[in-house]
A and B are shown apart, each in its own frame.
Chain A
Amino acid sequence: MKKRVTINVRTLDNKFNACDALRQLDSLFTKREAWQIQYENSTAELLPLLSGCYDTFKAIKGQRAEKKFIEVAREKIETRINKKVTDKSVMSLIVRYVFDRDGRRINNYIRTLKAAHEEKISAGGFIDWVAGIGELEDIIFVKGVTYQTKKKRFELDGKIKELDDYFAELLEEPVATFQVNPLPLGNNDDELILLLGKADGNGVINVLTAIPNASDGMIDSAKRKIAEALIEHEVFLVKQKVKGAVKKASAKALESATIYKEVSNVA
């Protein structure tokens, strides 16, 4: 059974000020350091930390002390990491204050907390909200994304599904065919194989080797890259087509245009 740790954070009240918030964050920062060493980043221990960040955010956001808090928190982070912080968002500053400089993860945490805020989760309700959805990763992937990202993912997933047909088409006229005997370790005869090649600068690629023991993840990642490139190419073609139509229509209109003054001159 998962052990649930709760961190008490003062809830919203009128007397809550920037110092209170920073004190809470300092306490969370210490706990975060312990968590990173002792628990080796286990999610069970991470949730109370995020919940603490969320509760602090709820307490300070929209209060008179918010501006002061932003100012002081930014200053403290800058001193700690010895780097200029341009962030103005309270949420980002809180997460950065507690989690220091763990780049990619910090962004995921911020997205998660933003998702909770957008769903109007009250202070103290963060852990239950996460539990209701599933894992923290689910929230990062599903909840904390913009409409544009969702749209992009949808397009990409659709394109990846089309890839099998695309590969079957390419297989009829492959770019190059050569015999490799025996196949490098971990590769089967009838499966997709990743190759490593080197370009010679004149448009020729020298295939060096098939990548041994390529995992499904590596194949999926390659497929994703191919799908992205195909989408980009399709967008480019559509843009070219539209631009071509604009040029053609302008030229045609230009051909038939007459200027009044010229008409009167000729007459």
Chain B
Amino acid sequence: MSYLIKYKPKLFSDIVISSLEVKTKLDTYIYAGNKQPILLYGGYGVGKSLISELLPSAIVGGDAYIEKIPATDFRTTADVKAAFPRNRFYNNLADRVFLVSHEINFTSTASEAFRDIVDYLQEDVQFILSTNEFRRMDGGIVDRCNAIEIVASKANDWLPRVKMILQKESVCGIPDAVLLDFLNAQLAHQKSHRKLLEALEIFVFQCKRDSSNNSTLRKVGQRK
């Protein structure tokens, strides 16, 4: 099974986030009842979708009522109105409804309509939007949102989680400094958590393969 699935965080607190600013901003939703729409932006594979998936449960402290808006190109006012009908009473569905969207794209006309929707539903609905294309987002929507840039976490912050994964995979004996070099190099190469887990999976595979090829040797790296 891919490590992306196997070691996918189950709780919001399991997500590796380096930035103190990001943590603080997200904590205002969990601990201070902030309800401003959230707009997560940043490169590929840095954890935006994961945050938007796990943040609602952290906020309500249990199962949250989440509606996912599929990746959509809203072109016209009518498209937006059809997706968010005004006569829909979100406040009857749950104490707090989360509308989560990954990659939501608007034309400027549709943006204007969506701004209106955000203003109208803000009290009953927690919007969590994420995008790779922050520059293309409408200024009015950005202005209404708490725009949070998510960047790849640092090697230091990844270390405990990677050690846990290696331990579960029965790989041990790597000094922290060596592991940090490995993580730093991987993150410098590709600033994506997905790619980091992919590299880790390959690394563990290599360890196991070398080990079984040379089963009498204690050290994986000791070759003929």
Spell out A's residues near B (CB within 8 Å): 61-64, 66, 117-118, 120, 147, 242-243, 245-246, 248-250, 252-263, 265-266
Contacts and interface: CB of A to CB of B under 8 A. Distances in A.
Nearest to B173: A258
A249 B218 contact: no
B76 A249 contact: no
B198 interface: no
Interface stretch (B5-13, B143-151, B177-185): B177-185
Contacts, number: 101
Instruction: Point out which of A249, A253, A266 has the most chain B C-beta atoms below 10 A from its C-beta.
Output: A253
A257 B173 contact: yes
Contacts of B115: none
B210 interface: yes
B185 A254 contact: no
Interface in B158-217: 170-175, 178-179, 181-182, 184-186, 188-189, 199, 203, 206-208, 210-211, 215-217
A258 B76 contact: no
Interface in B104-134: 107-110
B166 to A, nearest CB: 8
Given A257-B173, A257-B220, A61 B107 contact: yes
A117 B109 CA distance: 11
Given A147-B135, A260-B170, A254 B220 contact: yes
Interface of B is mostly: helix
Interface of B: 75-78, 107-110, 135, 170-175, 178-179, 181-182, 184-186, 188-189, 199, 203, 206-208, 210-211, 215-221
A245 B185 contact: yes
A117 B161 CA distance: 47
B135 A259 contact: no
A263 B218 contact: yes
Nearest to B206: A254
Given A117-B108, A243-B189, A256-B221, 14 more contacts: A61-B109, A64-B76, A246-B185, A246-B189, A249-B181, A254-B206, A254-B221, A255-B219, A257-B172, A258-B220, A259-B171, A260-B172, A263-B172, A263-B218
Contacts of B219: 255-256, 258
Nearest to A242: B189
Given A66-B75, A243-B189, A266-B218, A252 B211 contact: no
Nearest to A70: B75
28 contacts: A61-B108, A63-B76, A64-B78, A66-B76, A117-B108, A118-B108, A147-B135, A245-B185, A245-B189, A246-B185, A246-B186, A246-B199, A248-B185, A249-B181, A249-B182, A249-B185, A250-B182, A250-B203, A252-B181, A253-B182, A254-B206, A256-B174, A256-B219, A256-B221, A257-B207, A258-B171, A258-B219, A259-B172
Nearest to A255: B221
A66 B77 CA distance: 11
B109 A62 contact: yes
Given A249-B181, A260-B170, A254 B76 contact: no
B220 A249 contact: no
A242 to B, nearest CB: 5
B174 to A, nearest CB: 5
B206 A62 contact: no
B218 A258 contact: yes
Contacts of B217: 262
Contacts of B188: 242, 245-246
Contact of B220 (A117, A246, A250, A259): A259
Of all A-B residue pairs in the complex, the 4 with the closest CB atoms, nearest first, are: A62-B109, A255-B221, A258-B173, A249-B185
B107 A254 contact: no
A255 B222 CA distance: 7
Instruction: Point out which of A243, A248, A256 has the most chain B C-beta atoms below 10 A from its C-beta.
Output: A256
A256 B182 contact: no
A254 B207 contact: yes
A257 B221 contact: yes
